[in-house]
Amino acid sequence: MRYLPLSDEDRAQMLATIGANSIDDLYVDVPREALLKAPVALPAHQSEMEVERLMKLLASCNIPAGKTAFFLGAGAYRHHVPASVDHLIQRSEFLTTYTPYQPEIAQGTLQALYEFQTQVALLLDMEVANASMYDGSTGLHEAAMMASRVTKRSRVVLSGGVHPHYAETVRTACEAHGLEIVTLPAAIDDESAVLRAMDANTAAVIVQSPNVFGTITDLKPIVAGAHAGGALMISSFTEAMAFGLIEPPGAMGADIVVGEGQSIGNALNFGGPYVGLFATKEKYLRQSPGRLAGETVDADGKRGFVLTLSTREQHIRREKATSNICTNSGLCTLAWTIHMTLLGAEGLKRVATLNHENACDLADALGVIAGVEVLTPRFFNEFAIRLPKRADVVLDALMEKGIVGGVPFTRLNPREGLEDVLLVCATETNTPEDINAYAAALKDIVQ
Amino acid sequence: MTATVSGNHGLQQAEGLLFETASITRTGVDMPAPKGRPDRLGGLGRKYAPLLPGLSEPEAVRHYVRLSQKNYAIDLGLFPLGSCTMKHNPRLNERMARLDGFADLHPLQPVQTVQGALMLMEELARWLLTLTGMDAVALSPKAGAHGELCGMLAIRAALIARGEGETRKRVLVPESAHGTNPATAAACGFIVDEIHATDDGHVDIEDLKKKLGPDVAGIMLTNPNTCGLFERDIKEIADIIHGAGGYFYCDGANYNAIVGRVRPGDLGVDAMHINLHKTFSTPHGGGGPGSGPTVLSPALAPYAPVPHIVRRGEDLALMEHSEAAEGSPFGRMCAFHGQTGMYVRALTYMLSHGSDGLRQVAEDSVLNANYLLARLKDHFNAPFGAGPCMHEVLFDDSTLKTHGVETIDFAKAMLDEGYHPMTTYFPLVVHGALLIEPTETESKAELDRFADVLIALAERVKTDAAHFKSAPHLAPMRRLDDTRAARQPKLRWKPDEALKTAAE
């Protein structure tokens, strides 16, 4: 067995040193009837070559996005990630280390986290950011619970533009925690509806911009309304790249900004692992969840970094902790910060602009097809279209032509009708040929 | 250390913050020039460019390689963090996770284009269920603590279905538990009630019996426990809890000690998360990403969260909505389908080891820990006797304290010897705990070297406490000031500091 260094001779010697006759002597506390006598009924070990063959066979039963003309967004985005990112995160010292509990031999991870926190805060224009959450959706339920702690209120209102998976994740975790979760009906351009649903017990309103239909919203009036009612304003997002081009939530006064960072540095990976970005105002820091890296000095006065404010966390506070969370999304965080460092402000703006231009070109090309209507009034790189037929039927027909054309809204939320709505996305990876092929195919299908 | 002109120390390169060297006009990414077409942002374009610094590729590579050299890692040496399971991460797993057929799949692609990914998930589920003897598995939890949340939400849903959601609010948690257990129970609206440990490190059954009542929702118990011991009364504990109408949540953080040798389903467990990054070797990556599939008993299986994989004729499909699913899913743990990239790595590891190899994994992990116990027991105090232990071995600080050395000092002295320390100050039931988990991927020679170093340090404690108090001396940094970091939190670089520094 290539991963197990002990030989049978080693094992015999070690048992002798221990003073045990057999390995079963070491399992002496296990109830005898529960101690398995033989391996369970699964295949035996295989060579590296055989395993690789099997896994490649499984992989070959999928059609990777890059093999098609691909237009899916709705929470996960296909962007070009420079080769150096994946090379660097596979360095042993990053890949195979643990949470930086011994900071004197973990400055690499800690400084990278400190830089990550700074980059996230700058991108979102917020005062502070943490060292990441599992993903955007779980970050959002943590934000809702945090708002409840800050305001000592127990009701949270979500707009109908919040990604339905996020809304369901928030409802699942927060209702068990005793919060009342109000999710408004799906709406393409009505984030401010949350203000009409507020009451005196509302801890937070949650909006998403760009929302699941791609719509960008001016958050300032919503912030003002939420604050007037004593609630926090939480702004969610699923496409971090957008803030290279659109006004960031922090600049419009949001109290907590939380969302998905996958689109920077991280592959699609069929939904995970991803990296949740979480930022807030300094005054709320002690109620915030998740790990934080902070600056300090060593015994010689040299600058260094440690994990800090851990008195909020479960390993110290146990049932009184701000969250049960025990990890961040370490390696995905590293990929994010490396990609962002390679981009810089200039590169980020350029990639974001290319995304937007491709999406505009796509909207122009699809919008002129008779019977097809672009529903999203203002967008970054994704938008909703209304089709003259059921979206899932059109999607299947597009697949026949090698085009993965979007996400039917009903796949995310079957409760609202909207069977004719398709969510479409273009990124810098789409070519003009992709866009033309999509328009031509769609025209054929709907006419 | 000797001062140098450059601030570097041989191969240790001094490396400043990105923000101090990079420029907001530099970039390491080439992209075609935009066309300059009219935008559709509705006047909501970004007003001020973010002060995000950029680096060219050679500068960026050097920045991160230099940072990496300040990290310890399992690839550099033994990493004996008890309860964290730092074992070798096979590189085949990484290669497989990066196949386009897995990495370049969007979670919402039409299901006919992702049949291989669904087969992968189904196969992973089959291995997990066969190994654990359980009925169902929720793959989607994103980490161990998230799996705990999943299990406790399933228990909550089952209690609600029984009409006891409002009455059964108390969850029993041993005082040796991971902090995530009480934090999770509280997050689900339960009240946490601690159970004491016996003097030999096990759950005190008499105390458990005293704390039972009609308001008990269940117990959260780690097995093997955080003292590195198998709870020998586990079946009785399960029977007692079930008899009182509660459920048994098992924290599976230490499942690696028993994989292939004991099936938690045979012990009366109702729910258990499995840390794929521990038992099944997905890399820890400096703090994640984890993955915490949660196996469920027949009593809890109907409440498993969406998505579920279902069979439609020849094909596999995803059931993504609670209302359409069979059973009564309690909801959804996260967007999409969980940590697929981690599923690929874990299944690759399982196929490599096979059922025989996984059993060997458990046995060697237990053998290695007991070997260290045998070598170290005359030099450190094992509070729960001479063993056997499971996959980790626990000592207290009594042999250190008599010489004025604290656990943290001993740990910092290990840094100078080129080792990552063991887990310290956990579990809380032992004073100044030192919890050592060698894992099965260490050779006997490596264990002997490690034991020799620990024994030599234990001897030095007796004569040279000052050496420990001021350690580390040779690590990339001297001891860092945690108190200052917490009292004056500085969690990001700020642009005005640079201006201030420049003006000085």
Cα Rg of chain A (Å, integer): 25
Question: For B99, which DSSP code?
Answer: S
Cα–Cα distance measured from residue A394 to residue B480, given in angstroms and rounded to the nearest whole number? 60
Q: Is pLDDT of B108 > 70?
A: yes
Contact B105 A14 (CB under 8 A): no
* A202 plus A320 within the same structural domain: yes
Q: What total of structural domains would you count in chain A?
A: 2
- Point out the residue among B148, B289, B352 whose CB comes nearest to the CB of A329: B289
> Which residues of chain B make contact with A36, given a CB cutoff of 8 A?
260-263, 359
Single out the residue in A339, A360, A381 at which a domain terminates: A339
Domain extent for A379: 65-80+346-446
Instruction: Give mean pLDDT, residues B6-35.
Output: 92
pLDDT at B497: 58
pLDDT at A320: 84
Q: Report pTM.
A: 0.97
Say whether residue A42 is in contact with chain B using an 8 A CB cutoff.
Answer: yes
Cα–Cα distance measured from residue B504 to residue B501, given in angstroms and rounded to the nearest whole number? 5
| CA distance to partner chain A, nearest, from residue B34 (Å) | 6
* A322 plus A398 within the same structural domain: no
Instruction: Evaluate whether B433 touches B395 at the Cβ level (below 8 Å).
Output: yes
pLDDT at A315: 82
> Which residues of chain A make contact with B69, given a CB cutoff of 8 A?
93, 108
Instruction: Evaluate whether A225 touches A192 at the Cβ level (below 8 Å).
Output: yes
Cα–Cα distance measured from residue B106 to residue B336, given in angstroms and rounded to the nearest whole number? 10
* A160 plus A195 within the same structural domain: yes
Cα–Cα distance measured from residue B146 to residue B334, given in angstroms and rounded to the nearest whole number? 10
Which residue does chain B place closest to A310, by CA atoms? B486
- Closest-CA residue to A166 (of A142, A188, A187, A189): A142
pLDDT class of B499 with cuts at 50, 70, 90: low
Question: For B477, which DSSP code?
Answer: S
* A70 plus A159 within the same structural domain: no
Cα–Cα distance measured from residue B336 to residue B332, given in angstroms and rounded to the nearest whole number? 9
Cα–Cα distance measured from residue B70 to residue A111, given in angstroms and rounded to the nearest whole number? 10
Cβ pairs bridging A and B (under 8 Å): 714
Structure tokens at B2: 């000797």
Say whether residue A301 is in contact with chain B using an 8 A CB cutoff.
Answer: no
- Point out the residue among B71, B108, B354 whose CB comes nearest to the CB of A93: B71
Say whether residue A48 is in contact with chain B using an 8 A CB cutoff.
Answer: yes
> Which residues of chain A make contact with B475, given a CB cutoff of 8 A?
104-105
pLDDT tens digit sequence for A423-440: 999 999 999 999 999 999
Residues with pLDDT less than 50, chain A: none
Cα–Cα distance measured from residue A47 to residue A54, given in angstroms and rounded to the nearest whole number? 11
Cα–Cα distance measured from residue A308 to residue A293, given in angstroms and rounded to the nearest whole number? 6
Alpha helices in A239-329 (DSSP H): 314-317
pLDDT tens digit sequence for B350-380: 999 999 999 999 999 999 999 999 999 999 9
Domain extent for B228: 93-349
State the ipTM, two decimals: 0.98
Say whether residue B490 is in contact with chain A using an 8 A CB cutoff.
Answer: yes
Contacts 24+ apart (CB under 8 A), A409-413: A409/A186, A409/A213, A409/A384, A411/B108, A411/B320, A412/A74, A412/A163, A412/A164, A412/A165, A412/A212, A412/B108, A413/A164, A413/A186
Name the β-bridge partners of B248.
B219
pLDDT at B1: 54
* A48 is a domain residue: no
Single out the residue in A304, A320, A339 at which a domain terminates: A339
pLDDT at B454: 98
Q: What total of structural domains would you count in chain B?
A: 1
* A398 plus A271 within the same structural domain: no
pLDDT tens digit sequence for A276-308: 999 999 999 999 999 999 999 999 999 999 999
A56: buried, middle or exposed (CB in 10 Å: 19+, 13-18, 0-12)? middle
Q: Is pLDDT of B498 > 60?
A: no
Say whether residue B352 is in contact with chain A using an 8 A CB cutoff.
Answer: yes
Say whether residue B312 is in contact with chain A using an 8 A CB cutoff.
Answer: no
Name the β-bridge partners of B174.
B195
DSSP strands (E only) in B396-439: 423-424, 434-436
Report in angstroms the alpha-carbon separations of A55 from A47, A48, A61, B317.
12, 11, 10, 20
* B256 is a domain residue: yes
> What integer best gives the mean pLDDT of chain B?
95
Among B21, B26, B46, which would you mutate to test the A interface (most chain A Cβ atoms within 10 Å of its Cβ)?
B46
* A6 is a domain residue: no
Single out the residue in A283, A312, A339 at which a domain terminates: A339
pLDDT class of B502 with cuts at 50, 70, 90: very low
Among B9, B47, B48, B68, which would you mutate to test the A interface (most chain A Cβ atoms within 10 Å of its Cβ)?
B68
Structure tokens at A155: 């009701």
Question: For B428, which DSSP code?
Answer: T
* A175 plus A164 within the same structural domain: yes
pLDDT tens digit sequence for B67-89: 999 999 999 999 999 999 999 99
Which residue type sits at B295? V
Contact B491 A20 (CB under 8 A): no
What CATH number is associated with residue B253?
3.40.640.10
Structure tokens at B69: 């050299």
Which residue does chain A place closest to B232, by CA atoms? A29
* B174 is a domain residue: yes
* B457 is a domain residue: no
Say whether residue B313 is in contact with chain A using an 8 A CB cutoff.
Answer: no
